[in-house]
Amino acid sequence: MLTVDFSRFPIAPGDRVLDLGCGAGRHAFECYRRGAHVVALDHDKGELRQVTGWLAAMREAGEAPTEASAAVVAGDALNLPFPDGSFDAVIAAEVLEHIPDDKGALAEAVRVLRPGGRIAVTVPRYGPERVCWALSDAYHEVEGGHVRIYRGEELLTRLAEAGLRPYGTHHAHALHSPYWWLKCALGVDNDTALPVRAYHKLLVWDITKRPLATRLAERALDPLLGKSFVAYATKPHVDVLPPSGRATA
């Protein structure tokens, strides 16, 4: 299940891509399939072990071009272990809402992105996320949980303040919002409740089969119920001139 729309965020063979806070690796896998040189970074070593296994399985199955490469790195979003301008593209999917110093994390992402490079940032959308917080404290008051809810304009302001130029937005995963509302209403850790099990089965069927009916339904509902807000931006080649008229360093 991809949150980033790769028709809006093109990845070409040979691109250097950082999946920042890769989690289970879904976006890293897609970039690898597209022939990129991918680095999947996360602080959760358990997740990284699984990502390593899946990347090896993809290589064995020939699911990625032979010239593509993938590396897994344990790291901190506030102190990335890469030189300036190391990547052509950075993906930060459902990451910033977990980080108290989101401005610091964005600054690091911008630092390792080359001038002219692109970044995709996704966060839970304000409306559906607010419902989850209202229904359940356990949904967000956990170690490593969500520390804030973004409005779309707030995230775009964050990107601009970090020196980026946003060029597009959209919403994604409308069918997932009701699932999380059910989870929050019936118990975040209660996976045995019949409504939760039934809806989860529907989502698994949708993800694996991708039937036309649910794809059309989600496309129609995304503007209203999309669980994620997705923003795309570029890093300018040169800094904007300050009022003095001299370029900044």
Residue numbers of the domain that contains 171: 76-234
Query: Is 214 inside a domain boundary?
Result: yes
Query: Is 30 inside a domain boundary?
Result: no
Query: What does pTM read for this prediction?
Result: 0.92
Query: Is 49 inside a domain boundary?
Result: no
Query: Is 118 inside a domain boundary?
Result: yes
* Angstrom distances, CA of residue 17 to CA of 32, 36, 92, 158: 9, 7, 11, 21
pLDDT computed for residue 241 by the predictor: 43
pLDDT digits (tens, 9 = 90+) for 31-66: 999 999 999 999 999 999 999 999 999 999 999 999
Query: Is 144 inside a domain boundary?
Result: yes
Rounded-to-integer distance, Cα 62 and Cα 8, Å: 26
Q: What CATH number does the domain containing 173 carry?
A: 3.40.50.150
* Tally of domains in the chain: 1
Average pLDDT, the chain: 94
Q: What confidence tier does 144 reach under pLDDT thresholds 50, 70, 90?
A: confident
Query: Is 129 inside a domain boundary?
Result: yes
Query: Is 117 inside a domain boundary?
Result: yes
pLDDT computed for residue 239 by the predictor: 54
